[in-house]
Amino acid sequence: MSIAIITGSAGLVGSEASRHFSSRGLDVVGIDNDMRALFFGPEASTAWQLERLRKEIRTYRHEFTDIRENEAIQRIFKRYQRDISLVIHTAGQPSHEWAALQPVTDFTVNANGTLALLEATRLYAPEAVFIFTSSNKVYGDQPNLLPLVEGPERWEIDPSHPYRTGIPESLSIDATLHSLFGVSKLASDLLVQEYGRYFGMRTVSFRCGCLTGPLHSGTELHGFLAYLMRCAVTGAKYTVFGYKGKQVRDNIHSSDLVRAFDRFFENPRSGEVYNMGGGWLSNCSLLEAIHACEAITGRDMNWEYAPQNRKGDHIWYISDLGKFRAHYSDWNVRYDVPRILEQIFEENRDRWLAQAAVMA
């Protein structure tokens, strides 16, 4: 028996990973207490996804456990011990705005929770591969210091700059405004690296851009493309904050990210770090994403512009995927933004409209 422990198992990446590694023959133990609903309200609950997992994966086992509860986490790991071959840690508080409302909760969930999982892995499953979903917010607002050129609908980096292929892992994490969320994710990221380097564990931090896909329980404070499409479908108002709506993000489909996890699982390293996102194949500005949603739904979006940008928000961020591709040359991005938005629309439209009708 080979077991994958997946935290945040009913979330976007966690549910994708649960299905993927179950199909590969691993028994999945999911850890998820639906704190997303606590963070962002009932519309962001992952309960619907958990129900699907239980129906689709016969061997799936679920633990409603808070990752900050060190003793409870250790009991789970002690139960399976060296049968655990993989730990995928996707649980966390994901919004830099919400973090400023409750900094202690943000830090303990992201940093203390990660530490509890790393220590349980070290004690009971030291040979397991440990995969962590970090964030590009570990770089703070350093990307905003890059030479950017304003276009009609997007900001772009000066084509003569060395980062024209995207932002690499070598970008400094010092002397920058991180946001409290960025700090808690950076602490987690460094812990994952340190357990790999100091204890010789097989760990990796994937510093992700925008994560997306039809499995996302998108809400205003987190889940860019899913929430944008939900507003496009239901007619709810969407607010664009600052930068003229020309801020650029790369977006990676959860299945592309999980395939990257799979490659690392097959050939792991210790204390590794990769920038991971849609790169140059899958990115868009907010204005471009709004126009794409309007084209897909066939209706104008209800949106407004707020001139004040969100504190610490990136103006332009595209991941340089070169390091990961150099280590795992058979991996590539399969989904671009139009295809992602079409899939989000097709797989969620009826559910969103039914929910909107109930709330009306």
- The token pair at 165 is 């292929």
Instruction: Indicate the range of 68-82, 114-128, 207-221 predicted with least confidence.
Output: 207-221
| Residue 220 host element (H or E) | none
Query: pLDDT per residue over 6-37, tens digit each?
Result: 999 999 999 999 999 999 999 999 999 999 99
- Report H helices in the chain: 12-23, 35-40, 47-56, 70-80, 96-101, 103-107, 113-124, 180-199, 224-234, 254-266, 286-297, 322-327, 337-359
- The token pair at 350 is 């009826």
- The model's pTM is 0.96
Q: What is the mean pLDDT of residues 313-330?
A: 97
Closest by alpha carbon to 103, among 50, 178, 215?
178
Q: What is the mean pLDDT of residues 209-215?
A: 93
Position 80 in a domain: yes
What pLDDT, on the 0 to 100 scale, is given for residue 206? 98
Q: How confident is the model at residue 51 (pLDDT cuts 50, 70, 90)?
A: very high
Position 360 in a domain: no
Neighbouring-strand partners of residue 68: none
Q: How many domains does the chain have?
A: 1
What pLDDT, on the 0 to 100 scale, is given for residue 219? 83
Q: What is the mean pLDDT of residues 257-263?
A: 98
Given a cut of 80, whether residue 292 has pLDDT beyond it is yes
Q: Give the percent of the chain with pLDDT over 70.
A: 100
Q: What is the CATH number of the domain that holds 291?
A: 3.40.50.720
Count of positions (residues) in the chain: 360
- The chain-wide mean pLDDT, for the chain, equals 96
Separation between Cα atoms, residue 205 and residue 270, nearest integer Å: 10
What pLDDT, on the 0 to 100 scale, is given for residue 360? 66
Query: pLDDT per residue over 52-107, tens digit each?
Result: 999 999 999 999 999 999 999 999 999 999 999 999 999 999 998 999 999 999 99
Start-to-end Cα distance in the chain: 49
Position 104 in a domain: yes
Separation between Cα atoms, residue 272 and residue 318, nearest integer Å: 20
Domain that holds residue 108: 3-355
Given a cut of 80, whether residue 274 has pLDDT beyond it is yes
Q: How confident is the model at residue 318 (pLDDT cuts 50, 70, 90)?
A: very high
